[in-house]
Amino acid sequence: MPITSHVRALQSRFPRFVDAKARAQRFMRRTLRRPFEREFSLLSRWRPDPGEVFIDVGAHRGQSVDAIRLYQPDALIHAFEPNVPLACAMAHLFDDDPALAVYACGLGDKDEARRLYVPVYRSFVYDGLASFDPDQAGGWLSEHRVSGFDPDQLEMMAGEARTFTLDMLGLNPGFLKIDAPGWFDAVVRGAKETLERCRPLILMQTNELADQVLTEELGYTRAAYDGDRLRPGEEGVENTVYVPGERVGDLRRCGLWVG
């Protein structure tokens, strides 16, 4: 069993452990100048056009904002997090960043109030697994991921959250990151007009339904980042980068595109 399963078991019994772990991870990433996911390192060579912004959907504790800031310290970032306590904590964490706007709401395909489901195991709140889909929120925790997992100790906490569509906001993204478990295709469908108008690069957890919308309806090419360059036609193990034809020339000039 991997060591991470034992770490999850420990943090479930000692909830304060997760805050210390998060602070230590953030300190190490910033000190070593390493993003929490390697795909963000492509921003060391590529940047959006003037006037374009970064959009972070599913901002959680600000890991993506930290990753963007490693390479784009002055870029304007719009971060969306439907879990209100997390959004408030993130706003406090980055209160000295004038180029960051944090929204305590989610993005989807409708303007509506929805139930946000958060799994709770042994009184530990797994806020990183929150989803508008209850099956998605509760289905990840198992004996394979938590040492000594007891399903009777798993509960589901539900609260109200607001969603909007990206198309409602009139933003001009050059780079869009999506982390919305069980909700990826809804985010993409609610952003179709914006994606057709702005043609941003998209970094997204690999997801079949959203992939179909992007590649078949919006003409994006999927690409896997190997740590140095993007390999078109390939799907990433955890994250996939989606590239419109309009951006390929820029990526070639940056040495980021294979072929």
Class of residue 11 by CB neighbours under 10 A (exposed 0-12, middle 13-18, buried 19+): buried
Give a three-class secondary structure readout of the chain: CCHHHHHHHHHHHCCHHHHHHHHHHHHHHHHHCCCCCHHHHHHHCCCCCCCCEEEEECCCCCHHHHHHHHHCCCCCEEEECCCHHHHHHHHHHCCCCCCEEEECCEECCCCEEEEEEEEEECCEECHHHCECCHHHHHHCCCCCCCCCCCHHHEEEEEEEEEEECHHHCCCCEEEEEECCCCCHHHHHHCCHHHHHHHCCEEEEECCHHHHHHHHHHCCCEEEEECCCCEEECCCCCCEEEEECHHHHHHHHHCCCECC
pLDDT at position 10, please?
47
Match 């709140």 to its residue by tokens: 125
**Residue 90: what pLDDT?**
94
CA angle centred on 24, ends 20 and 29, rounded to 5°:
150
pLDDT value of residue 121: 85
User: Kind of pairing, strands 106-107 and 173-178?
Assistant: unpaired
What would the two tokens of residue 150 be?
A: 């007891």
Phi, psi of 235 (to 5 degrees): -105, 135
Flag residues of the chain having pLDDT under 50.
1, 3, 5-10
- With beta carbons less than 8 A apart as the criterion, state whether 141 and 181 touch: no
Assess contact for 161 and 116: CB atoms under 8 A: yes
Q: Look at residue 13 in the predicted model and tell me its pLDDT.
A: 53
Which domains, from first to last, does the chain contain? 3-37+48-201 (3.40.50)
Say what the pLDDT of residue 259 is: 81
List the one residue out of 190, 194, 243, 236 whose CA is nearest residue 215.
243
This prediction has a pTM of: 0.86
**Distance separating alpha carbons of residues 203 and 176, to the nearest angstrom:** 6
pLDDT of residue 20: 66
